[in-house]
Amino acid sequence: MKMTLLFKAFLILAFPFILSGNIIYPHSITPDRKDLYKKYCLTCHQADGSGVSGMFPPLIKTPKVLGPADSLIMIIISGLKGPTEVAGVTYTQNMPAVKNITDQEIAEVLNFVRHNWGNKAASISAAEVARIRSKAEKKP
Amino acid sequence: MIQIRLLVYAFVVLLFPRSCERNTSETNAPGNTAGLTLPAGFSATIFADNLGSGRHIIVRNNGDVYLALRALKNGKGIVALRDKNSDGKADSIVYFANTPTTGIDIGGNYLYFSNFTEVYRVPFTQNKLVPSETPVIIAGGFPQQSQHNDKTFALDESGNLYVNVGAPSNSCTDPDRTPGTPGLDPCPQLEWHAGIWRFRSDLPGQDQKADGHRYASGIRNSVAIAWNTLNNKLYVVQHGRDQLAQLYPAMYSEQEGAELPAEEFFAVEDGDFFGWPYCYYDLTRKIKLLAPEYGGNKYAVDRCADAKNPIMAFPGHLAPNDLLFYTGNMFPEKYKNGAFIAFHGSWNRAPLPQEGYYVAFISFENGLPSGNMEIFANGFAGVDVITSPNNARYRPMGLGQGPDGSLYISDSEKGRVWNVTYKK
């Protein structure tokens, strides 16, 4: 009886975390990581993903963000040379490659970007990132 | 029938005063500020609106206004504005020039303007709003660059042209803006970037490499550049480096990354070196410090002891984009010969709120600031807390002085132009 109560209490307390995916999540689902977005992306792409006019492109409903996971993963791994164009507007800045970031973290930060500000795109897994990374590294 | 007439009458009475109010509040009622917050006694009108991506602005001595457009509108890069009926609103609006422009100025009977690689001039045609001759290149051969590419400039009164060539990077690392990358030493970008180059203002076809004189160096980017006719000296305001906290998170907190480094106000003499990329200015300690890319640790001064100090410094990342020394007679005495600075506003203080987005004033005496910076015009952004630059409805960009002594302020987001006046 005591055990079941304790277990119930645990479930109730842990429920928000299970939902948000911050602590407990099944291996097949990669969570969204706002903290990683803040660490790697926010300064340029801004808190609301709207970017900086003429400099850094927005991440809101843009083809690169919503498009194929492969090319999006590549941008994190190898960076992007400016100028780049989004919706007819030119953004001049280069994006540096993000170094010292794990495959799991790349998946997590991209999922945050792909699931926020009205973006709705398929989740990315660490395995996909690993596959793209090894492909990129094989290239001369 | 009477009932219907009464209804119509009631409708008109209810509606009309309101539409009248709305009209006057958008135009010239005394004490109106057209959405801006201004000191007592000042008013503002919307001189023109929705002109495009406004940059610098200049006013001819007949009152015609010229606004540089960073992106072509209707295929043109300058918009000319004339207020024919003197109601404080431009009623003749003409687009011309086949290149996007950022800097614009008037010297003698010529309109000077720059794109990202050249400075042009074209003579005015009598009192015509749009010059009819073909513009010629005065100075060119400037590097193509993907950041800090505005070639803003100033003209002195002895036939010289001073062109800002910004740094093509944040702090001279390769790759740029990447954590853990040391600075190139010596920084090769200083050869043709990050300084002020001087040319003759009346000689067509000059080239940066062949004919330019590197007047000053170690200036990361000074979009705000002006010649002070009172003491015959060049002044610029620098955009300080970005991302101390993002690139060196173990050394700088988010708060320090937002406040550091200061934006610096320079009085420029021939041969000056101001320190970029090796140094940055710490506003609280009032000292140039060695940048972390060059071995700096937040305290070391090292070679920065030799870099010239600013005459004034401002909080980090406010983006000073224009500088104007006020020589008019319309504004109260304290404004005479003082400096107005348009702070375009930051993007690089995130995740903390952004700052700037206002026009500031600094009184001057003997060529140096004689008072603290005060905010002169505010309210451009239209919101109290700006978390990202895209929250801002308008961003002050350029400053121009009318022949009557009124001040023109341009906006980069929608292309609005305000005219600020003063009445005792």
| Cβ pair B258, B233 in contact under 8 A | no
Element housing A135 (H / E): helix A126-138
Q: What one-character DSSP code corresponds to residue B378?
A: B
Burial of residue B263 (number of CB atoms within 10 Å: 0-12, 13-18, 19+): buried
Q: Which residue has the higher pLDDT, B136 or B27?
A: B136
A92:B149 CB<8 A: yes
Q: How confident is the model at residue A7 (pLDDT cuts 50, 70, 90)?
A: low
Report the distance separating Cα A55 and Cα A45, nearest Å. Answer: 10
**What is the reported pLDDT for A15?**
52
Q: For B318-340, what is the mean pLDDT?
A: 98
Q: Give the tens place of pLDDT for each residue, B242-294.
A: 999 989 999 999 999 999 999 999 999 999 999 999 999 999 999 999 999 99
Q: For B87-114, what is the mean pLDDT?
A: 97
Pair (A60, A124) in one structural domain: yes
Output b/e per residue, B361-389; b: 16+ Cβ within 10 A: bbbbeeeebeeebeebbebbbeeeebbbb
Pair (A103, A43) in one structural domain: yes
Report the distance separating Cα B276 and Cα B289, nearest Å. Answer: 11
Report the distance separating Cα B136 and Cα B129, nearest Å. Answer: 18
The ipTM (two decimal places) reads 0.71
Specify the 3-state DSSP secondary structure of B374. strand
Amino acid at A117: W
Sheet holding B119-123, edge to edge: B103-107, B110-114, B119-123, B136-140, B206-207
Q: Which residues, in sequence order, are bridge partners of residue B57?
A: B67
Q: How confident is the model at residue B16 (pLDDT cuts 50, 70, 90)?
A: very low
Specify the 3-state DSSP secondary structure of B173. strand
Give the number of beta-carbon pairs within 8 Å between A and B. 62
Pair (A22, A47) in one structural domain: no
**What is the reported pLDDT for A4?**
63
- Residue among B176, B243, B413 minimizing CB distance to A43: B243
Dihedral of CA B66/B70/B72/B73: which sign? negative
CB contacts of B391 in chain A (<8 Å) are 48
- Whether the CB of B255 is below 8 Å from some CB of chain A: the reply is no
CB contacts of A47 in chain B (<8 Å) are 350-351, 387-388
Whether B406 has a pLDDT exceeding 90, the answer reads: yes
Pair (A21, A85) in one structural domain: no
Report the distance separating Cα A138 and Cα A131, nearest Å. Answer: 11
Q: Which residue of A has its CA nearest to B349?
A: A43
- Residue among B179, B388, B412 minimizing CB distance to A47: B388
| Cβ pair B149, A92 in contact under 8 A | yes
Amino acid at B422: Y
- Residue among B147, B180, B388 minimizing CB distance to A46: B388
A42:B350 CB<8 A: yes
Q: For B214-239, what is the mean pLDDT?
A: 98
Element housing B177 (H / E): none
Whether A17 has a pLDDT exceeding 70, the answer reads: no
| Cβ pair A106, A129 in contact under 8 A | yes
Q: Give the tens place of pLDDT for each residue, B50-89.
A: 999 999 999 999 999 999 999 999 999 999 999 999 999 9
Tokens of B326: 């006020």
Element housing B20 (H / E): helix B2-26
Q: How confident is the model at residue A93 (pLDDT cuts 50, 70, 90)?
A: confident
A47:B387 CB<8 A: yes
| Cβ pair B245, B265 in contact under 8 A | no
**What is the reported pLDDT for A29?**
67
**What is the reported pLDDT for B351?**
85
pLDDT over 70, % of chain B: 93
Pair (A52, A4) in one structural domain: no
Other residues' Cβ atoms within 10 Å of the Cβ of residue B146: 18
Pair (A18, A41) in one structural domain: no
Q: What is the pTM of this model?
A: 0.86
Report the distance separating Cα B321 and Cα B341, nearest Å. Answer: 7
Q: From the candidates A46, A48, A76, which should be mutated to test the interface with B, based on the most B CB atoms within 10 A?
A: A46
Q: Which residues of A touch B (CB under 8 A)?
A: 38, 42-44, 46-48, 50-56, 58, 79, 82-83, 92-94, 96-97, 99-100
A52:B147 CB<8 A: no
Q: Which residues, in sequence order, are bridge partners of residue A37?
A: none
**Mean per-residue pLDDT of chain A:** 83
Other residues' Cβ atoms within 10 Å of the Cβ of residue A113: 24
Whether A113 has a pLDDT exceeding 70, the answer reads: yes
Place of tokens 């100028």: A83
Pair (A63, A13) in one structural domain: no
Specify the 3-state DSSP secondary structure of B257. helix
- A91-105, B104-118, B133-147, B225-239: range with lowest mean pLDDT: A91-105
Q: How confident is the model at residue B146 (pLDDT cuts 50, 70, 90)?
A: confident
Sheet holding B417-422, edge to edge: B42-48, B417-422, B407-411, B396-401
CATH of the domain at A98: 1.10.760.10
Nearest to A61 by CA among A124, A111, A118: A118
Which residues, numbered 323 to 352 in chain B, qualify as contacts with chain A under a Cβ-Cβ cut-off of 8 Å?
347-348, 350-351
| Cβ pair B262, B282 in contact under 8 A | yes
Q: Which residue of B has its CA nearest to A91?
A: B146
Pair (A5, A50) in one structural domain: no
Whether B156 has a pLDDT exceeding 60, the answer reads: yes
CA-based nearest distance B283→chain A, Å? 21
Q: Which residue of B has its CA nearest to A56?
A: B347
A43:B348 CB<8 A: yes
Q: Percentages helix, strand, coil for chain A, rounded to the nearest 5?
A: 50, 5, 45
Report the distance separating Cα B48 and Cα B226, nearest Å. Answer: 24
Cis-peptide into B186, omega within 30 deg: yes
Q: Tell me how many domains chain A contains.
A: 2
Pair (A125, A98) in one structural domain: yes
Count of positions (residues) in chain B: 424
Pair (A35, A22) in one structural domain: no
Range of the domain at A99: 31-138
Q: For B177-204, what is the mean pLDDT?
A: 96
Pair (A23, A43) in one structural domain: no
Cis-peptide into A16, omega within 30 deg: no
Pair (A105, A125) in one structural domain: yes
B347:A55 CB<8 A: yes
